[in-house]
Amino acid sequence: MEIQSAIPNTAISQNTTSVNTSPHNKNDRGRRRFAFDKFMERVVKIFSFFSPLLLILIIAGLVIKSIPVLQENSLSDLLLGSNFKPFTGDFGLLPFILSTVYVTVISIVIAIPLSILTAIYLSEYAGKAFLKFAAPMLDILSGIPSVIYGIWGVLVVVPFIRDYVGPWMGIETTGYSILSGGIVLAIMVFPVIIQIVFEVMRIVPNELREATLSLGATKWESIRKVIIKKASPGIIAACILGFSRAFGETIAVLMVVGNMVQIPHNILDAGYPIPSLIANNYGEMMSIPMYDSVLMFAALVLLVIVLIFNVYSRWVLNRLEKKLN
């Protein structure tokens, strides 16, 4: 307390000795506050430029690093080729691209309906007591390190696929498959989507529920035809967020997906998503020419996929919001 009051006091006393008159002193202080205000505005501005700039720098870095491989191979060979043999200079990335897309799509198909139904229960049906128990669980779930999900996948999901799903579908499998990857990924994005959808549905005004019910709608009719519709922009935003994360998730998927360079023919085949390719090989890239460059190019492809997905879903979101308001 004493220190705090001491600082302005000394400042003022210094001023009075140099300027002498008190009105001047007041102006001086005003000018300083004004200057500081301007200064802070600039500081805030500079920092807010950092993150967009970072994205541009990352893309630029990846592009520069990918130039060597692009000079040696055509873009179509890289994107559509299915041969990946670094020793002979074949760098077809199609198996990796398809694995990434398959794993993500499987996880979307599993996670979206389940998490939306869960969020509906939590927001529309669950009592206070259950919420008190479930909400912290979801918090913890979304904070679990992904390597733990990976271990759980190896211990539970992989054997389950091998011993039950494979025989049931009549396909021999080790269990390390894109389906396992998709399931683990779905479980990882689950809590994120549930939490956001839950929050979004709670924001829907209660009067809207009452209005719908008062027309003689049943609870489910009111949820399905009105509440979800009202919350749909938020629900879509939640899914975008969940799956931007899913595309790039590395370690948990890497542990269960099999990591074999092949184009998966069914969901029980092993796959090799781009993040796993990069994580598995980045350390040894120096020994083979072009390997460094092709990994950077693969990273660029992943980034572009995520960007396209994001831009497209934001476009959907905008259209939906216009339609509602």
Partner 1 sequence: MEQNIPHISIRNLNMKYGNNHALKDINIDIPNKKVTAIIGPSGCGKTTLLKTFNRLIENVDGTDIQGEVLVDGENIYAKNADVPNIRKKMGLLSQRPMPLPMSIFDNIAFGMRIHGERKKNVLKEKVEYYLQQASLWEEVKDRLNQPAARLSIGQQQRLCLARGLAVEPEIILGDEPTSALDPISTKHIETKFTELKEKYTIVMVTHILRQAKRIADYVVFMYLGEIIEHGPTLEVLNNPKHKLTQEYVGGVIS
Shortest CA distance to 258 belongs to which of 154, 187, 164, 170?
154
List of residues 6+ apart from 150 with CB closer than 8 A: 184, 251, 252, 253, 254, 255, 256
Check residue 211 for interaction with partner 1 (CB under 8 A): yes
Tell me: does residue 208 bind partner 1 (CB under 8 A): yes
Nearer to partner 1 (CB atom), residue 265 or residue 322: 322
Minimum distance of partner 1 from residue 318's CB (angstroms) = 14
221 binds partner 1 (CB under 8 A): yes
How far is residue 267's CA from residue 323's CA, in Å, rounded to a whole number?
37
Using the structure block, give the residue that is written with the tokens 């003022």.
Answer: 12
Which residues ranging from 127 to 166 are in contact with partner 1 (CB under 8 A)?
Answer: 127-128
Q: Tokens 């009719």: give the residue.
A: 221
Residue type at 302 in one-letter notation: L
Instruction: Give, as ranges, the residues between 222 and 261 that touch partner 1 (CB under 8 A).
Output: 225-226, 229-230
Window of 95-103, 140-148, 220-228, 246-254 that interacts with partner 1 by CB under 8 A: 220-228
Of residues 294 through 323, those in contact with partner 1 by CB under 8 A are 323
Could you give the C-alpha distances from 134 to 124, 180, 184, in angstroms and in order?
Answer: 14, 26, 21
Shortest separation between residue 189's beta carbon and partner 1, angstroms: 26
User: Following CA atoms 46, 51, 54, 59 in sequence, which dihedral angle do they give, to the nearest 10 degrees?
Assistant: -140
Distance separating alpha carbons of residues 122 and 292, to the nearest angstrom: 48
Q: Identify the CA nearest to 182 among candidates 235, 258, 92.
A: 258
Nearest-approach distance from CB 232 to partner 1, in angstroms: 8
Q: Rounded to the nearest whole angstrom, what is the least distance from the CB of residue 126 to partner 1 in the complex?
A: 10
Q: Is residue 297 within 8 Å of 127, Cβ to Cβ?
A: no
Q: In residues, how long is the chain?
A: 325
Sole binder of partner 1 in the list 9, 74, 218, 318 (CB under 8 A): 218
Q: How far is the CB of 123 from partner 1 (least distance, A)?
A: 12
**Number of residues forming the site for partner 1 (CB under 8 A):** 24
Q: What is the C-alpha R_g of the chain? A: 28
Q: Establish if 206 lies at the interface with partner 1 (CB under 8 A).
A: yes
Say what the alpha-carbon torsion angle 170, 173, 176, 177 is, to the nearest 10 degrees.
Answer: -50
Q: With contacts defined by CB under 8 A, name the span among 20-28, 92-100, 147-155, 217-225 that binds partner 1.
A: 217-225
Among 210, 289, 318, 319, binds partner 1 (CB under 8 A): 210
Tokens in use for 323? Answer: 């339609």
Cα→Cα distances 9→5, 31, 233, 299, Å: 6, 18, 54, 58
Stretch that binds partner 1, among 78-86, 98-106, 147-155, 211-219 (CB under 8 A): 211-219
Q: Is 88 in the site for partner 1 (CB under 8 A)?
A: no
Shortest spacing between CB 224 and partner 1, in angstroms:
11
Stretch that binds partner 1, among 114-122, 148-156, 164-172, 214-222 (CB under 8 A): 214-222
| Residue 32 vs 225, nearer CB to partner 1 | 225
Which residue in 9, 16, 214, 318 binds partner 1 (CB under 8 A)?
A: 214
Q: Calculate the alpha carbon distances from 251 to 149, 173, 265, 305 in Å.
A: 9, 21, 23, 19
Q: Which positions touch partner 1 (CB under 8 A)?
A: 127-128, 205-218, 221, 225-226, 229-230, 323-325
